[in-house]
Amino acid sequence: MNVELTRLSSGLTVVTETMPHLESVALGVWIKSGSRNETEDEHGIAHLLEHMAFKGTSRRSARDIAEEIENVGGELNAATSTETTSYYARVLKDHVPLAVDILADILTESEFDEEELRREKHVILQEIGAANDTPDDVIFDKFSEAAFRGQTIGRPILGTPETVKGFTPAQIRNYLSRNYTTDRMFVVAAGAVDHAAFCKQVEERFAKLPRTPSAPPVFDTARYIGGDVREDRDLMDAQVLLGFEGKAYHMRDFYCSQILANILGGGMSSRLFQEVREHRGLCYSVYAFHWGFSDTGIFGIHAATSGNELPNLVPVVIDELRKASESIDQQEIDRARAQIRAQLLMGQESPAARAGQIARQMMLYGRPIPNPEMMERLAGITTQRLTDLAGRLFFDTVPTLSAVGPIEQLAPMSDITAALSTPGFETKKAAG
């Protein structure tokens, strides 16, 4: 890896990876703060701030920001997640100083104009409405709300119409001053970038960033609860998400959980895809995933099918979970490792993917993780560890289920919970 790291005197961390065969650079600012760092009355403000950063500064109007980056053929965007926020650009190597200048401008000089705020609230209200009309989005929001009921980590990132409508510029500035500080921010670039020159540009343009927060950042320890949430809708297909508490990034079983998710539902050769879709034809989409957070995680199985297939689908999925707790082949582990290795290496061929990967590693582990070290962590995973983990994940914890669509024939939660706690138990098929 041609990775270089510098911690500036301001406390800001700068990391670059030089990819000399490229003509472009992907760069951005990643903040270790997201929707989980909101107070009770700030639901949705992290996402609103991300939008408002592009709506004008003391030096540039919203149109200026868009035109200046696009005049040189560049791209500019941002994203908000549960625990992080990012602002990033992609430009040709000659225009890196411009991209740094614009990113610094929107993060240190945004004005949060009242009229711009009014318009952007309206845009986000439409975004919330669109998400509510999309079953794929609804099911994950409802799942998080049930899994972490009554907690910030379980709230939808977009907020609600009521909270978004009420935000003021002062509230946005308060969240900003509490969370956007140099000790929580990482500036990363990958591609045709010179580390020394990039550090100098960042040091000059980001000098106004505060070093310490105006108040301690908000962060409540997650408490996985589990439960059942269903919404009967007149749709063509039923969306079902069955999940369990996963592992945090720093836990011993985190990488083991990633491998297990890959074996169960990580591709066309996975157990769920082969058994549920290919062999039985019970659905058109089924996959497993594992999401890690700083102090908890989610292991889930998502399927989309017709309402009539639900009585057959759920027992088959649970049976596959039970089989995973009893036996896993070494060949399956090797295949999962090969897929993860390929993803890592393919990601290194994209400067944008590589910059994001480095930023995530910095926020999670405080340093870039070399690929050989990453693969070494996966090398110690055995069949016994995986079956033991599957038994603990699926049959020793409280499940969470969310379902949207024509779900009248979905088994009661009591039957599903019993099937996940009693060996050989099958969920009862609903009548019809």
Q: Please identify every residue annotated as catalytic.
A: 50
Per DSSP, the three-state class of 365 is helix
- Euclidean distance between CA atoms 95 and 89, whole angstroms: 11
Per DSSP, the three-state class of 368 is coil
Residues whose CB is less than 8 angstroms from the CB of residue 93 and which lie 6 or more positions away in sequence, other chains included? 22, 23, 24, 25, 191, 192, 193
Give residue 309's region: left, alpha or beta (phi > 0; psi -120 to 50).
Answer: alpha
Q: Do residues 204 and 369 touch, judged by C-beta distance below 8 A?
A: no
- For 371, how many CA atoms within 13 A lie in the half-sphere containing its CB? 15
User: Taking the CA atoms of the chain, what radius of gyration do you get in angstroms?
Assistant: 23
- Report the run of H or E that residue 219 belongs to, with start and end: none
Residues paired with 91 in a beta bridge: 25
Q: Do residues 245 and 397 touch, judged by C-beta distance below 8 A?
A: yes
Cα 142 to chain centroid, rounded? 16
Residue 236: both structure tokens together: 């063509």
- Euclidean distance between CA atoms 180 and 26, whole angstroms: 21
Q: Do residues 265 and 272 touch, judged by C-beta distance below 8 A?
A: yes
Q: Do residues 411 and 431 touch, judged by C-beta distance below 8 A?
A: no
- Report the run of H or E that residue 309 belongs to, with start and end: none
Give the burial string for 84-116 (b: 16+ CB within 10 Å, else e).
Answer: bbbbbbbbbeebbebbbbbbbbbbbebbbbeeb
- Report the run of H or E that residue 60 belongs to, with start and end: none
Nearest to 173 by CA among 101, 102, 87, 114: 114
